[in-house]
Structure 1
């Protein structure tokens, strides 16, 4: 029985290995047995004809079989073009030139495509994945015909220099899962309402795109979305909409119950927040010195929390100690404390002091020098002798408490960590 089971397992493993090799050769290296249709080949050649390609990125776009061309992936069985993507070897430049920005920028500029985006892409009836990111189309508007490529599930137009209005036709892409329009300059327009009609969206990247004014409530209809990035826009003075979260009572505008990653860095938001996430970055916004909301401590699945430079004030709510899964925390450069102690015997003690600097806080994990500056002084009408007497008693009692409670805190620290 044992040898029979081993034989079956070996056969299954071998079949899986053959399947992997076959698909790897097909999708990664091309396969001479797959031939694209003449219509799709002609569509790609027309698309290439209107592009400016100074580095000859598309030099392989010749011959009869477009399934063997670079940046093109075909379906293994039908030969239909499914993917047009950015070259994978571009990621090598990120590593190679990371320490030299001028060479890095020159590399990208040289390898960018430009010119026009030809409507011939409409003849690719089975195109699912279109990645034109990191090119330079010289400030033109996003072509409206892209909204008619009904088969699209993935659209990345980031870092392209697009400007002007975003065509409402993109709202027709009802099968799309991923949309990235980040790092373009749309000139201070409102975030388009039609985005909320793409109910299948899971990833929405709109950072650094020149959006401002209100966020349309239609985004609350994106109930399948798990990643939202609105950072680096100009929403000055606007409250974070309550529908960005899993607030069940807001059924009239929907809720984003599956949202797990939210980036609102440097977006100018203010006011209260209502969220339920794994990743939360609200840094560099202005919440007008409101108190840090205690309900954040109830987001038990939170792993990353950045609230630096957000103008929060008051004491750190003890509920933040309930975030037992958190791995990154930054509360620095706020008005927390005024003054106040970091809650003891909590998860908060497991972080470095850099998570709390530039506030009016004291207590572990801050070093003693910061503690001395932040401890509130209690006196009697400016009587220096009385102030000194009370300070001596304060330090004596603190030392005694550390001797008694210290071992317990040590054990608790390991239990929490």
Structure 2
């Protein structure tokens, strides 16, 4: 009986000690080593002092005092616009520099209980991806995006079999508002005919995607801006992706992927909800077989070289195919069937011609419709006033004539209407 009491007292004291002193001493030392190699102009790491690293900002520990979360994502990355001279302008209200800058101490990757690591939107000065990350076999979330790495992705992540989310983006989308005239020094890539640009925050490439084959539990994979030009030279370049049967979101925009959409290697992704392959060099038509992915909700093939027409995807909520000048879109045929779930549609700078059909109003969930530069003719049908959820309607640079529909003002959700470079008469009443 006395032994049980002694053990209970010991357990109570040990629990109290762990709550007061928190983290493991070697893990605290590893975090201090990581901090020592960084500059921190906004003092984001000012709380990193004292014995209990579990109380430090950006750090979370398990009940046993082991570090399981390191979240040092830049809380205020640069917000930028593109001006009329194609210059980059920062409009961040807070001028403090929240970027952590330097190199990563290898000791960070001795925190082998870590499950969540986010270092995104910092500046690691074009250093290589840390190979030691392979030690963190319990990681379920890893975000190294837009953090100024420069490297070739080969086997660095192959051992992370517990990963559910991986973001290695090295390019970020910004809006082109064409209104500001102060420039910053950042590399810039513009999409033809688009109001969207990509700014690079690193230089990553991958000669193939075989390193994905060991990470079969992935649900979210973002490789925006990663150079896959060499990988896509192979006809079966996307085959490793087909092994990711749990994948819900696949983002491969601005990856220099060339050739046809690899439909045969995507059909196994029966849980896929989002597929983004914007700003590549895709030259096929959109495969009708994609409609077999019944969970697919968002599809973005903008700024490619696609041809053909848009197949029927009744499950889609968002569809963007703008800046595909060889794509032919017959709106009358397209909306002869119901797109009941569609909320977002951007077909700008595709070959449309013809008219906007009255049947567009059958897409009652539509909130955003953009069709700039599509050579659309005729008048805007009065049935458009039935789209009560419509917030944005942009039909610039077409051949639309006549008058605006009566009761256009009944579109109570409409926030933005743009009809520049047309021959319309009248006004909203």
Say whether the fold is shared (TM-score over 0.5): yes
TM-score (norm 1): 0.68
| Structure number having the greater helix percentage | 1
23, 31, 36: which one pairs with 2:23? 36
Q: Which residue of 2 aligns with 1:63?
A: 50
Query: Matched residues in 2 for 1:68 and 1:346: separation?
Result: 55
Q: Which residue of 2 aligns with 1:263?
A: 276
| Higher relative contact order, chain-length normalized (CA < 8 Å, sep 6+) | 2
Q: What is the number of residues matched between the two proteins?
A: 329
Is 2:241 aligned against 1:219? yes
Matching of residues 126-165 of structure 1 within 5 Å: 126-165=113-152
Query: Matched residues in 1 for 2:122 and 2:300: separation?
Result: 28
Cα shift readout 1:245-293 (whole Å, capped 9, x = no counterpart): 4x3xxxxxxx1111101121212222033423101111111114x2x13
Query: Matched residues in 2 for 1:68 and 1:345: separation?
Result: 56
Shift of the 107–262 alpha-carbon distance from structure 1 to 2, 3 Å rule, reads: farther
Query: Matched residues in 2 for 1:187 and 1:137: separation?
Result: 13
Deviates more, 1:179-188 or 1:261-270: 179-188
Q: Which residue of 2 aligns with 1:80?
A: 66
Query: Matched residues in 1 for 2:111 and 2:130: separation?
Result: 16
Q: How much does 1:101 deviate?
A: 4.4
For the residue of structure 2 that corresponds to 1:265, the secondary structure is coil
The structure with more radius of gyration? 1
Query: Matched residues in 1 for 2:339 and 2:273: separation?
Result: 15
Q: How much does 1:134 deviate?
A: 1.1
Q: How much does 1:344 deviate?
A: 3.1
Is 2:173 aligned against 1:175? no
305, 314, 317: which one pairs with 1:286? 305
Shift of the 327–102 alpha-carbon distance from structure 1 to 2, 3 Å rule, reads: closer
Query: Matched residues in 2 for 1:264 and 1:241: separation?
Result: 11
Q: How much does 1:143 deviate?
A: 1.0
Q: Is the 8 A contact 1:234 1:267 kept in 2?
A: yes
For the residue of structure 2 that corresponds to 1:78, the secondary structure is coil
Q: Which residue of 1 aligns with 2:250?
A: 228
Query: Matched residues in 2 for 1:149 and 1:205: separation?
Result: 20
Q: Is the 8 A contact 1:144 1:167 kept in 2?
A: no
| Structure number having the greater strand percentage | 2
RMSD: 3.8
Structure 1 unaligned spans of 5+: 1-30, 248-254, 376-394, 396-417
Q: Is the 8 A contact 1:342 1:363 kept in 2?
A: no
Query: Matched residues in 1 for 2:225 and 2:71: separation?
Result: 22
Query: Matched residues in 2 for 1:43 and 1:133: separation?
Result: 20
Matching of residues 7-406 of structure 1 within 5 Å: 33=20, 35-75=22-62, 77-86=63-72, 90-91=75-76, 101-102=89-90, 104=92, 107=95, 110-183=97-170, 184-186=201-203, 189-213=206-230, 214=232, 215-236=237-258, 238-243=259-264, 245=266, 247=267, 255-274=268-287, 275=290, 276=293, 277-288=296-307, 290=308, 292-294=309-311, 297=312, 299-311=313-325, 312-313=327-328, 315-316=330-331, 317-318=333-334, 321-337=337-353, 339=354, 342=357, 344=359, 347=362, 355-362=370-377, 365=380, 373=399
Structure 2 unaligned spans of 5+: 1-17, 171-200, 383-394, 403-429
Shift of the 320–235 alpha-carbon distance from structure 1 to 2, 3 Å rule, reads: farther
Query: Matched residues in 2 for 1:231 and 1:37: separation?
Result: 41
